[in-house]
Structure 1
Amino acid sequence: MKIISILFILLTVNMHAENRLQSFKPGQTWPDNNGRHINAHGGGICVYDSTYYWFGEHKIEGKAGNKAQVGVSVYSSKDLYNWKDEGIALPVSDDPKSDIAKGCILERPKVIFNAKTNKFVMWFHLELKGQGYGAARSGIAIADKITGPYTFIRSIRPNAGHWPQNVTADEKDPRSIARTKAENDRFSGAPTKKHEKFNILGSHMEGGQMARDMTLFVDDDGKAYHLYSSEHNSTLHISLLTEDYLDHSGTYVRVFPFRWMEAPAICKNNGKYYLIASGCTGWSPNAARSTVADTIFGPWKELGNPCVGENTSNGLGPSKTFGGQSTYILPVLGQDNAFIAMFDQWRPNNAIDGRYIWLPIQFEKGSLKIEWQDEWNLSFFKKNPE
C-alpha cells in the first residue's frame, strides 16, 4: 500500500508539473492555481522577496462588475506564468458611509514597498459611490504583509494648496480661477476644446487636483511618484510622494497639457524614463502613446505609437493597441533591459471576462517597440537584447 501511495503522489506531482504554464498567450484566458481566470484587472506588480505579486480589480459577472463589489485581489508568482490566488488584499466596506463602500468605483490599484517604514502601501483611483466619475480621488491603504489585509486610510485629491513647479502666471490669475469655478465643473472627461478656455488647474488648487487613471513608480533613490490623469483627464500630473509614501509632498508638474493622456505606465531603463499611455475613449481601445525623458519631471518627448503587428484573434493592430489599454510596465527579475508591457482588454458588458495582454518591450535607438506575439516566453529577452 505504501508503494501504491508513493506512486500516486509521484503521478499527481508529475501531472501538476505538466499542467504548469510555460509561456504567455496574450488575450486568452489565464488560469490561476485553481483553474479560474485570473481576476486582477487594471493591475500592477509589486516585487518582494524574489516573488511577483499582482494586484488588481476583482470583477464580477455582468455590467455590475464595473463597480467595486469585492475589492482588490492579489496573486503571487515566482515565474510570471503561473499565479497563486492569495485572496482579497483590500475588501470594499459594507458601511455605506465609507469612501470605499461596496458599489464605489475602485480602479488601477498599485502597491509599493517602503523600505524605511517597512510597510506596503497601496494607492488607487477612487470614485465615491453614487457620484459617477465626479469625485476623482486617490485612495490610500497600508499593510504589514504584502498580501494584506490592507487597512484603508483615507481618500484625497492630490496636492491641495500647492501649485505645480511649472505653473504659469495665467494659471494663478484669480479672475480666471473665479470664472472656472463658476462653471461648477461642467466639463466632460473626453476631449473637448472647452477645457483649454478655462483654468481647471487653478480652480482645483485649494481643494486638490483631480486624479483618475494612475500608477506608482519608485525610483533608484527610493523616492516614489504618483502619476495620474488630472484636470478632467486633459493633462497628466507627476507628483512626488512624501517619504512614507502616504501623501503627496506638494512637489509636482503638469505634463502633456490638453493631450488627454490616461492609463499611464512607466519604467526606467539605462537612465531614461519611458512612459506608455492611451488616449481617452472610455472602454474602447485606441492607439497607444510612448514618451521618453531624462528626468522624471521632464521635459518629456513623445515617441509615437510603440505597437507593431496585429492581434490574430480579433484583427486589431496598432491603431487599437491590439484591443488593450496600458496599465503597468513590469521589470523582469534578474534580466537587464527586460520589461513587459501590461495591457487590459476590457469587457464592460461582462467585466469578469476582461483579458490580459502582456508583451515584451524592445528598446531601439531610444524608442520603444511592442510587437504582437501569439505566444512567447521570457527567453525572448535573451534572444533580443537591447
Structure 2
Amino acid sequence: MPQHPIPVVSGVAWFDDSGSPVNAHAGCIVREGDRFFLFGEYKTDDRNAFAGFSCYSSPDLATWTFEGLALPPQPDGLLGPDRIGERPAVMRCPSTGRYVMFLHADDLGYTDPHIAFAVADDLRGPYVLGGPVTFAGEPLRRWDVGSFQDDDGTGYLLVHEGDVYRLAEDYTSAAEKVAAGVAPGGESPGMIRAGGRYHLLFSNKTSWERNDNYVLSAPSPAGPWEPSGLLAPAGTRTHDSQCGFVFVDAGPEAPPMYLGDRWSFPRQASAATSVWQPLHLDDAGVPRLGPFLPAWLPTSGEAVDLLADAAVLPAAADLTAGRSHVTAPFAIDAGDRVALMGTVGPDSGYARVTLESSAADGDGDRLTAIVDFYSGVAADGIRFLTGPLAAGRYRLRVEATGERPTWSTKDGTPYGATDCRVRTSAVRVLPAT
C-alpha cells in the first residue's frame, strides 16, 4: 500500500492511468499479492450487446490501470454476436489453481438465459469460455449470478430469487443446490460471512432503477435464511445503488467493502458509476451501510473530507433548454484536482462536462464526460472530479444535453427522470496532497 492512502470517491466517474473512464460494471475484485484486480462489464452506450469483460489493476483500490479485456466478445455461441454478457464473478479454484469466471449469458430479449463459466491460468486472462454451468446434467438457465468462496475454499454460486448452489471441486459445475427460492423477487446477489453467520444481499427488481436493498442471514449457506432488514438507511435507495459484490481482502485493518452500481440507462458506458462503501456489523452482527460517505479510505473505512481546503468558485446554474451551459474559469497549481458540485433529483437529466485549457494555453479540450444528474432522492454533492492536473489556466464548461434517463420494466412500469434539468452550485479546486 502507498504511504499516504488515496480515498475511494463514490458516484463519480473514475479515470484510469491513460485518462479514460474506468469501464467495469457489476463485477468483482480479486486480490493477488499486493495488487487488486477489478473485473466488470465493459459497456457501450449504443446497445446492450456484450462488448467484453474488462480487467483493471490497482495498488490501492483507488487508482486503476487498464489490463485489457479478460474475456472479449466471441465469434459465436453463448457470448457471440447479439448476445448479452453480465455480472462476471472470478474465483481461484483451490483444487486446480486455475481462475474461473462465472457470468450470465443471454440473448438481447433476455429469453435464453444461461449461467456460464470461463477459465484462465493467469488472473488477468485471457479467459476461455467453457460453456454453461450444469446442475444434475442440465444447463443452469438462470439470470443474475454472484459468487462466494468460503474459508475452506468451497465455492458457491448465488442466483436471483435466492437459489444457492455449491460448486463441484473443479468449480465448473454445480454439485448441490443447498438453498432454493429464499429471496422471491430478489436479484443481484452478494454474500459475506461475518459475525459467525452468512449474509445474502439482494436488490429488488426495478429494472435500472435503484431501490432499498436488503439482507438475509443464516448459520450456513444451506440456511435456514431469515430476513435481517435493509442494507442501508430506509429511503436512500441503498445510496442510489444496486448491490453486487462484497470484498473482504483489502487489508488487515480494512472493513468489508460493498461494491454497488449506480446504473444510468441508456448511458451505461459514459455515465454509470460505482458506489463503494465500507460495511459495518450492527449489534446483531448483520452487515449494514451507514450514512453515505462521499470519500473514504479503503484501508480503514475512515471518511475523508475532500473539500476541507478546497477553494470555491461560483458556478451556480439551473440549466434547461433555455440556458444550456455555464462556464467557470480558474487557475490551478500542479497536482490540484477540480470538483463540480451539483444537485441530483427526480427531474434531472444528463450534463456534458468539459475541462478545457484557456485560450492563452491554446491546448484545447482536456477532458469530457457525461454526468447523470438523475436520482429519485434529491441530494447535493460532488458530481464530477478530475484527477491531478498540470498547472495552468482552465475552464470547466457544463452543458445540459437535453437527454434524460428513462425506461420501463417488462410489465410497462415507467421509471426515470421527469425532465432533463441540470443544477450546478459551484466548482471546487482541491489542493494537491
Measured against the shorter chain, the TM-score band is 0.7 to 0.9
* Equivalent residues of 2:24, 2:42 under 8 A apart: yes
Q: Which amino acid aligns with 2:151?
A: D
Structure 1 position 326 matched with structure 2 position 279: no
Q: Which residue of 2 aligns with 1:249?
A: 175
Structure 1 position 225 matched with structure 2 position 209: no
Structure 1 position 102 matched with structure 2 position 81: yes
Cα distance in structure 2, aligned partners of 1:52 and 1:294: 30
Of the candidates 376, 382, 385, which is equivalent to residue 296 of structure 2?
Answer: 376
Give the TM-score, by structure 1 length. 0.73
Of the candidates 335, 341, 358, which is equivalent to residue 258 of structure 2?
Answer: 341
Cα distance in structure 1, aligned partners of 2:8 and 2:221: 31
Q: Which moved more, 1:107-116 or 1:371-380?
A: 371-380
Q: Which residue of 2 aligns with 1:210?
A: 141
Q: Which amino acid aligns with 2:86?
A: E
Q: Which amino acid aligns with 2:191?
A: I
Report how far residue 77 of structure 1 moved.
Answer: 1.3
Q: Which residue of 2 aligns with 1:152?
A: 129
Cα distance in structure 1, aligned partners of 2:90 and 2:277: 21
Cα distance in structure 2, aligned partners of 1:357 and 1:382: 16
5+ residue gaps, structure 2, are: 304-433
Q: Which residue of 2 aligns with 1:290?
A: 215
Q: Which residue of 2 aligns with 1:5?
A: none
Cα distance in structure 2, aligned partners of 1:208 and 1:153: 12
Secondary structure in 1 matching 2:77 = coil
Secondary structure in 1 matching 2:268 = helix
Cα distance in structure 2, aligned partners of 1:239 and 1:210: 13
Structure 1 position 237 matched with structure 2 position 156: no
Q: Which amino acid aligns with 1:239?
A: Y
> CA RMSD for the aligned pairs?
2.2
Q: Which amino acid aligns with 2:240?
A: G
Report how far residue 208 of structure 1 moved.
Answer: 4.8
Secondary structure in 2 matching 1:348 = coil
Give the structure with the larger helix fraction.
Answer: 1
Q: Which residue of 2 aligns with 1:355?
A: 273
Cα distance in structure 1, aligned partners of 2:6 and 2:140: 44
Instruction: Give per-residue Cα distances to partners, 1:132-174, cap 9 Å, x unaligned.
Output: 1112211110001110111111124x4246xxxxxxxxxxxxx
Q: Which residue of 1 aligns with 2:16?
A: 32
* Equivalent residues of 1:255, 1:300 under 8 A apart: no
Instruction: Give per-residue Cα distances to partners, 1:1-23, cap 9 Å, x unaligned.
Output: xxxxxxxxxxxxxxxx99x9811
Structure 1 position 22 matched with structure 2 position 6: yes
Structure 1 position 136 matched with structure 2 position 113: yes
Number of aligned residue pairs: 299
Alignment identity in percent?
27
Cα distance in structure 1, aligned partners of 2:129 and 2:140: 21
Secondary structure in 1 matching 2:238 = helix
Q: Which residue of 2 aligns with 1:45?
A: 29
Cα distance in structure 2, aligned partners of 1:44 and 1:228: 15
Of the candidates 173, 185, 193, which is equivalent to residue 268 of structure 1?
Answer: 193
Instruction: Give per-residue Cα distances to partners, 1:209-257, cap 9 Å, x unaligned.
Output: 532111111111111000011xxxxx32100111010111134320425
Report how far residue 380 of structure 1 moved.
Answer: 4.2
5+ residue gaps, structure 1, are: 1-16, 162-206, 230-234, 310-316
* Equivalent residues of 1:278, 1:289 under 8 A apart: yes
Structure 1 position 61 matched with structure 2 position 28: no
* Equivalent residues of 1:50, 1:333 under 8 A apart: no
Q: Which moved more, 1:286-295 or 1:142-151?
A: 286-295
Q: Which residue of 2 aligns with 1:73?
A: 54
Q: Which residue of 1 aligns with 2:64?
A: 83
Give the structure with the larger strand fraction.
Answer: 2
Cα distance in structure 2, aligned partners of 1:344 and 1:44: 11
Q: Which moved more, 1:70-79 or 1:331-340?
A: 331-340
Secondary structure in 1 matching 2:164 = strand
Report how far residue 51 of structure 1 moved.
Answer: 2.1
Secondary structure in 2 matching 1:360 = strand
* Equivalent residues of 2:104, 2:144 under 8 A apart: yes
